[in-house]
Amino acid sequence: MNESPLRRLRVAVEAPQHSGLTGPLDYLGPQGLTPGTLVHVTLGRRDVMGLVWDDPPEDQDLPEDAQLPESELRPVGEALDALPPLSNRWRRLVEFAAGYYQRSVGELALAVLPPQLRDLDAKQLQARLKKLDKADAEAAKAAKAAKAATAAAAAAIEAGSNPEALEALPSTPERPALTAQQQSALDALAELAAREVPQPALLWGLTGSGKTEIYLRAAEAALERGEQVLVLVPEINLTPQLEARFAERFAGRSIVSLHSALTPAQRLRNWLAAHLGRAQLVLGTRLAVFASMPRLGLIVVDEEHDPSYKQQDGARYSARDLAVYRGHLEKVPVVLGSATPSLESWQHALAGRYRRIDLTERIGGGALPRVRLFDMNRLERKKGVTTTLSVPLVDALRKRLERGEQSLVFLNRRGYAPVLHCDQCNWKSDCPHCSAHQVFHKEDRTLRCHHCGVTTRVPRACPSCGNPDIAPLGRGTERLEEQLAQALPGARVARIDADTTRLKGSLETQLAAVHEGDVDILVGTQMVAKGHDFRRITLVAAVNPDGALFSSDFRAPERLFSLLMQAGGRAGRDAAQAARSEMWIQTWYPEHALYQSLQKHDYEAFAGSQLHERMSANLPPFAHLALVRAEGRSVEAARDFLVAAQEAAQALPLSLGLLLYPPVPMAIARVADSERFQMLIEAGSRAQLLRFLRAWLPELHALKRRQKGLTRWAVDVDPLAI
């Protein structure tokens, strides 16, 4: 055998964060192994997947003990070199994300690859690639045949020999005429794209102002340049709709989706198509931000303000923020679209870091719904009269019903009632494992905890005193649906929430029923507020939105405002009906600044006042936060860990100038018998925060091993929920 000499390689290996490994490890490998190649390696006694990272630094001026001598290095195992290596730019993206969100490079690199890829050996991978080649060849053949048939049909029509052939012609996708605003938005984007390093664009557009058409045209331009396009959407539910629109427009192009609802085989196939440069357009949820795309030319982030772009476990990354970084890295334009941008992005636009592009008119001249703030204080108070479904609201719904129009009633709480209550002894349906109530679900007569999932039968009588008269307190969507059906006999009421859409495909079926006009009144949670294009809804009512006004989370008003704007945007999408479409807000605080801005559809005023508040309270985007959360089997375990962590932090010179808040219980302190505490760290500069975390976190790993009863801890940089 012709053995080529081995050389030192740096390999990022799949090692959990607590192992303390942050960077790549040294191994020995053959000369020809390029960085970005997947290899099997031994870690401890395990065989794990690794990724050849970069060549070791040229200058070997490292101190003697900084690296193992080559004689002690282990050789790498089998290389999956049938796969083209992951690019240098892709590795820089992963490296940045790992450093920023405080994870090890190897853990993140392997976690964002399709799970199936990690389990393959070289032979299996080759078989997969072969299969993909075959499928692609067949698709190309079919496309060619279709093209030939079209040409033949066209020739036949030309010759006048076969008029029926007209039907054989595929309909060319219709491209709607652009409004003047859309045209100037596209001109602005084209101008940005032409720059050496394009500035990110914040596309601020009302619902119904034609943002999607901007995405489509910008994508078209990139595709014509032979580039690949990455489109991110916040939720899996929204991918099929957008995918359909892109597929219709770009018939004959290769479009793949990437999200967690794909089967492992589908995900690998789609990922490979992107990586091999065959997929021209990749549409996906947050994990798609890491898709390997060799000819990436444009990134679109739709509904950029949406909280689901932030990963909530493992590496807690923000796909929106990484998309912006990736654009910078790859020198490609990034379009962030929203009707209610995140305050972070808005501030970046104000500061000139992002280029703001406005779409202020609805397509077809449709007006935004008139917002009515319905003052609940003025309602006559009578015992037994439900306030959620006020008499004026029922009247308004009835009017729509008589005119054959649809209504949407929005309540962000599922289940029948948030709690069951005994008025004899004050028993409440508390979850035995959490500091929360079990929610009453009437349909299947269960009490369910929405935090830990524990489900029990509804007791016949009060478990504490035997009173048979236990009653639901408050109201969720299930009860609202029931009450609407009672108040408006004959109305076809439907409900869409996490409970009614558990089964695959059920959401699509229910949405179709709304579109077909088989539903008069739709009740739903935030699920219905997002993205769905309802043409015939003329009344949107938010029946109980006040809760978020007084939340301890400083981002709650921002979320409420965008949710209500989005919900309101469901009304009057049809220009003919737009004039009389309305949004009702039932509130006890009609004078609140948030509602006052909402009434005028004035996001700008709302953002201005919020940013002002944040600046005076020194909150993001004017400060940078990290949150350390700890869970333990006892209050003491969780709290003591954070107290010790804080002491360790104070001993570090890097903590000077940082604000370390004392550990406090989380809003829901106990979940699934776990006690949860958190501690907030505030810094004036991002770089300072990251330098501190890098020095501090290794101490926390050591503390964890000493703290009995601590089950886990995690750090969240730029946390979304406080």
Q: Which residues bind Zn ion (CB under 5 A)?
A: 422, 424-425, 427, 431, 433-434, 449, 451-452, 462, 464-465, 467
| In the complex, minimum distance from the CB of residue 454 to Zn ion, in angstroms, rounded to a whole number | 5
Pick 185 or 434: Cβ nearer Zn ion: 434
Pick 452 or 649: Cβ nearer Zn ion: 452
Pick 465 or 471: Cβ nearer Zn ion: 465
Would you give the DSSP letter of residue 264?
Answer: H
Pick 422 or 710: Cβ nearer Zn ion: 422
Pick 223 or 672: Cβ nearer Zn ion: 672
Check: CB of residue 570 under 8 Å from CB of residue 537.
yes
In terms of DSSP H, where are the helices of 618-685?
635-650
DSSP H or E segment with residue 268: helix 264-275
Pick 372 or 450: Cβ nearer Zn ion: 450
Pick 192 or 431: Cβ nearer Zn ion: 431
Residue carrying the six token digits 């029922």: 394
Estimate the crossing angle of helix 477-487 against helix 391-402, to 10 degrees: 70
| In the complex, minimum distance from the CB of residue 473 to Zn ion, in angstroms, rounded to a whole number | 13
Task: Categorise residue 286: left if φ over 0, alpha if ψ from -120 to 50, beta otherwise.
Answer: alpha
| In the complex, minimum distance from the CB of residue 281 to Zn ion, in angstroms, rounded to a whole number | 42
- The β-bridge relationship of strands 255-258 and 46-52 is unpaired
| Nearest of 308, 100, 329, 320 to residue 202 by alpha carbon | 320
Separation CA 376–CA 541 (nearest Å): 14
| Nearest of 103, 108, 107, 66 to residue 701 by alpha carbon | 103
156-190 b/e (C-beta count within 10 Å ≥ 16 → b): bbeeeeeeebeeeeeeeeeeeebbebbeebbebbe
Pick 465 or 652: Cβ nearer Zn ion: 465
Pick 602 or 673: Cβ nearer Zn ion: 673
| In the complex, minimum distance from the CB of residue 447 to Zn ion, in angstroms, rounded to a whole number | 10
Q: How far is CA 187 from CA 197, 387, 404, in A?
A: 17, 50, 42
| In the complex, minimum distance from the CB of residue 427 to Zn ion, in angstroms, rounded to a whole number | 4
Separation CA 87–CA 293 (nearest Å): 9
Q: What are the backbone angles phi and psi of residue 233, rounded to the nearest 5°?
A: -125, 155
| In the complex, minimum distance from the CB of residue 436 to Zn ion, in angstroms, rounded to a whole number | 6
How many Cβ atoms are within 10 Å of 341's Cβ, its own excluded? 25
Pick 241 or 467: Cβ nearer Zn ion: 467
DSSP letter for each residue of 429-490: -B-TTSSSBPEEETTTTEEE-TTT--EEEPPSS-TTT--S--EEES--HHHHHHHHHHHSTT
Q: What angle do CA 623, 624, 625 make, to 5 degrees?
A: 120
| In the complex, minimum distance from the CB of residue 460 to Zn ion, in angstroms, rounded to a whole number | 12
Separation CA 229–CA 301 (nearest Å): 11
Write the CB contacts of 45 (distance below 8 Å, at least 6 apart in sequence). none
Pick 86 or 452: Cβ nearer Zn ion: 452
Separation CA 420–CA 279 (nearest Å): 52
| In the complex, minimum distance from the CB of residue 631 to Zn ion, in angstroms, rounded to a whole number | 14
The structure tokens listed for 461 are 């009588």
Pick 464 or 599: Cβ nearer Zn ion: 464
